[in-house]
Structure 1
């Protein structure tokens, strides 16, 4: 079986057409990054690149596409619309696509109150084993074929300030995941756990305290060995740490649509285990 893993696609609207009042103070800081920092330019072709990744997934004959968050630049409705359009029919089909939100998808209190992510992508949050949901729709489970299961976790929380985009899964979801892993319906399946924040950085260490996954160790303890993988984004670097006896495979997807760094993983599953992955660049 094959899975495509991409992340941090950051579909970006034209922010100059919005008033500062409409954008809100959190996005005022973002405007500096978008303009002087060059972020808007780096993601100018993001919809086109995401569509190319979807086409590649079809050509690779993958069984499922996984996107580990940050579909948007700063959680505007138009950005969610753009991501959904770029994904095409996959955005409507939970059998073929799983997505979890990133911190940029809940960037403002208004986007959280409106539950903007779920309004656009709630159709992909349905679970094949809903009895294990502990926090809204999370964790959700997708049974893919007879050899794999995709599990979606929520790690994004309302940051006190934009400079503190750390993540936390929480005891409730971790308890649901622990119970799920004991379910006989997962016997013989590789388990690909999707979460936005990184359990480990490129060097194999915990991420910065203000940016990382606060309960990373608790997550990794539940997933020992090559049967398991954690697929994440958030850190805009693409890297892979193979599984050990007491830790799962770790796939960091980087930023899949950033100019000059476009790419994604094709992850292979065989005999109920994750056997590795290969990085790919989309055919644009």
Structure 2
């Protein structure tokens, strides 16, 4: 079986064509990142790149597509619409597609309270084993064929202030995941756990306190060995830490649509094990 994993596609609206009142103060702060920081330029062609990655599912005859959060720049409704349009029919089918929100998708309290992510992608939060949900839709489970399962977790929280982008899964979801992993319906399946924040950096270390996954070690302890893989985004670097006897594979998808760094993982599963992955560049 083949899985395509991408992340941090950051579909970005034209912020300077929008009323400042509509943006709110958090996005006013973010305008510096868009302009001086160059984010708007780097993601100007993100819809085109995301559409190209969606087409790669057909080219590789992949069994499932996974996007581990940050569909948007700063959680505007128009950006969610743009992401949905770029993905096309692929995003219509939970059998083929799993998407979770990232911290940029809950960038403001209003975007979270209005359920903006769910209004566009809520149908992809359905679960084949809903009895293990503990926090809203999470964790949700998708049984893929006879050899794999995809589990979606929520780590993205509304930040107290821009600049704080750490993630927390929380005890409730971790308890639900622990119970799920004992379910005999997962026996013999490779298990992909999708979370936005990185359990480990590219150097194999914990991320900074203001940016990292606070309960990373609690997550990794539940997933020993090559049967398991954690798929994440957030860190805009593409890397793979192979599994050990005590730890799962860890795949960081990088930022899949950033100009000059477009790409994704093509991950192979056989015999209920995650075999590894190959980084791919889409045909733009």
In structure 1, list runs of 5 or more residues that go unmatched: none
CA distance in 1, matches of 2:197, 2:239: 14
The C-alpha deviation readout for 1:36-86, integer Å capped at 9, x for no partner, is: 111101000000000000111110000000000000000000000000001
Query: Which blocks of at least 5 consecutive residues in structure 2 are unaligned?
Result: none
What is the DSSP-based 3-state SS (H/G/I as helix, E as strand, rest coil) of the residue aligned with 2:79?
helix
1:1-284 to structure 2, matched below 5 A, reads 1-284=1-284
Matches of 1:111 and 1:263 in 2, distance apart?
28
Cα distance in structure 1, aligned partners of 2:45 and 2:18: 21
Distance 2:162 2:204 in 1: 25
Note the C-alpha offset of 1:20: 1.5
Question: Could you say what secondary structure the match of 2:50 adopts?
Answer: helix
The whole-number CA distance in structure 2 between the counterparts of 1:180 and 1:15 is 42
What SS does the corresponding residue of 1:118 show, helix, strand or coil? Answer: helix
Q: In the TM superposition, what whole-angstrom CA distance separates every residue of 1:205-224 from its partner, at most 9, and x where no partner exists?
A: 00000000000000000000
RMSD in angstroms over aligned alpha carbons?
0.5
1:175 partner SS: helix
* Structure 1 segments (4+ residues) deviating >2 Å: none
Three-state SS of the structure 2 residue aligned to 1:259 is: coil
Q: Could you tell me how far 1:17 is from its partner in structure 2?
A: 1.4
TM-score by length of 2: 0.99
Q: What SS is found at the alignment partner of 2:141? A: strand
CA distance in 2: counterparts of 1:89 and 1:189, whole angstroms? 27
Distance in 2, matches of 1:244 and 1:106, equals: 33
C-alpha deviations, 1:116-135, integer Å up to 9, x for none? 00011001000000000000
- Other structure's SS at 1:178 match: helix
Post-superposition shift, 1:29?
1.1
What secondary structure, in the 3-state scheme, does the structure 1 residue paired with 2:259 have? coil
SS in 1 for 2:11: coil
Instruction: Find the residue that maps to 1:219 and give its secondary structure.
Output: helix
Q: Secondary structure at the match of 1:85?
A: helix
**Secondary structure of the residue that 1:66 maps to in structure 2?**
strand
Q: What is the aligned length?
A: 284
Q: Describe the superposition over 1:115-169 as per-residue Cα deviations: whole angstroms up to 9, x where unpaired.
A: 1000110010000000000000000000000000000000011111111100000
3-state SS of the aligned residue for 1:9? coil
Further displaced range: 84-93 or 216-225:
84-93
3-state SS of paired residue (2:48): helix
Q: What secondary structure does 2:87 align onto?
A: helix
TM-score (norm 1): 0.99
Find the aligned partners of 2:159 and 2:14 in 1 and give their Cα distance: 24
